């Protein structure tokens, strides 16, 4: 009876289960920082182009860079959360939890990649057009917020998944 119970236990929490949780941490950071890096670099190109002609607009043009930084903060938050739930081997770690952590990390990371991509393109063209037409500022910030909210949705789903794995 004890051997059957141990067998079921090892089937529910096999030795390779932490692999998926750690993959979730890595995917969250890798994809989230890929998106943040693309957003920072692409909008940085636009800011450099704007700052050559209108140095007084650099301060307002830095908003896409700040938003890209927030994408990386989302990835950092979910990575810290998942890492806080993991423990060395004597602690049992079920396969369900591992897949859940993988899903949380992938949802945050890949939605962060999408959000960073959107922020990069919108930030690049937005600050260039803002140099010529100052009324576009409100529209640019709104589009950037809608792009950045994509990463926030991924973080919400990741947080919900992470809370399910704790229960």
Q: Which two tokens stand for residue 110?
A: 């890949």
Work out whether 77 is an interface residue with other proteins (CB under 8 A). Answer: yes
Other C-beta atoms closer than 10 Å to the C-beta of 135 total 9
Which of 19, 141, 153, 157 lies at the binding interface for other proteins (CB under 8 A)?
A: 141
Task: For the CB of residue 69, give the shortest distance to other proteins in the complex, in Å.
Answer: 5
Cβ 156 to other proteins, closest distance in Å?
A: 8
The rounded distance, in Å, linking the Cα atoms of 135 and 117 is 24
Among 16-24, 41-49, 53-61, 86-94, which window interacts with other proteins (CB under 8 A)? Answer: 53-61
Is residue 55 close enough to count as binding other proteins by CB under 8 A?
yes
Q: Which helix (H) or strand (E) holds 159?
A: helix 136-166
Smallest distance, Å, CB 8 to other proteins? Answer: 29
- Backbone phi, psi, residue 148, to 5°: -75, -25
Under the criterion CB under 8 A, does residue 66 sit at the interface with other proteins? yes
Task: Compute the distance between CA of residue 137 and CA of residue 26 in angstroms, rounded to an integer.
Answer: 36
- How far is the C-alpha of 83 from the C-alpha of 94, rounded, in Å? 15
Interaction with other proteins in 105-134: which residues (CB under 8 A)?
A: 134
Return d(Cα 116, Cα 71) in angstroms, integer.
7
Tokens 């959000």 belong to which residue?
115
- Sign for the pseudo-dihedral over CA of 80, 81, 84, 88: negative
Among 20, 27, 31, 74, binds other proteins (CB under 8 A): 74
- Member of 53, 88, 90, 133 binding other proteins (CB under 8 A): 53
Name the residues that contact other proteins, by CB under 8 A.
53-56, 59-60, 62-63, 66-67, 69-70, 73-74, 76-78, 80-81, 84-85, 134, 137, 141, 148, 152, 155-156, 159-160, 162-163, 166
């Amino acid at each position: 009876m004890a051997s059957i119970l141990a067998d079921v236990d090892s089937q529910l929490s096999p030795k390779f289960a932490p692999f998926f949780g750690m993959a979730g941490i890595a995917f969250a950071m890798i994809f989230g920082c890929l998106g943040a890096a693309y957003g920072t670099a692409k909008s940085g190109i636009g800011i450099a182009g704007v700052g050559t002609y209108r140095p007084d607009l650099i301060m307002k043009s830095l908003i896409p860079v700040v938003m890209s930084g927030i994408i990386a903060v989302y990835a950092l938050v979910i990575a810290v959360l998942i890492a806080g739930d993991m423990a060395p081997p004597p602690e049992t770690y079920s396969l369900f939890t591992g897949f859940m952590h993988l899903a949380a990390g992938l949802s945050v990371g890949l939605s962060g990649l999408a959000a960073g991509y959107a922020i990069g393109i919108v930030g690049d063209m937005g600050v260039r057009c803002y140099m010529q037409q100052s009324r576009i500022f409100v529209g640019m910030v709104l589009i950037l917020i809608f792009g950045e909210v994509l990463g926030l949705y991924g973080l919400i789903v990741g947080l919900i998944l992470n809370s399910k794995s704790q229960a």
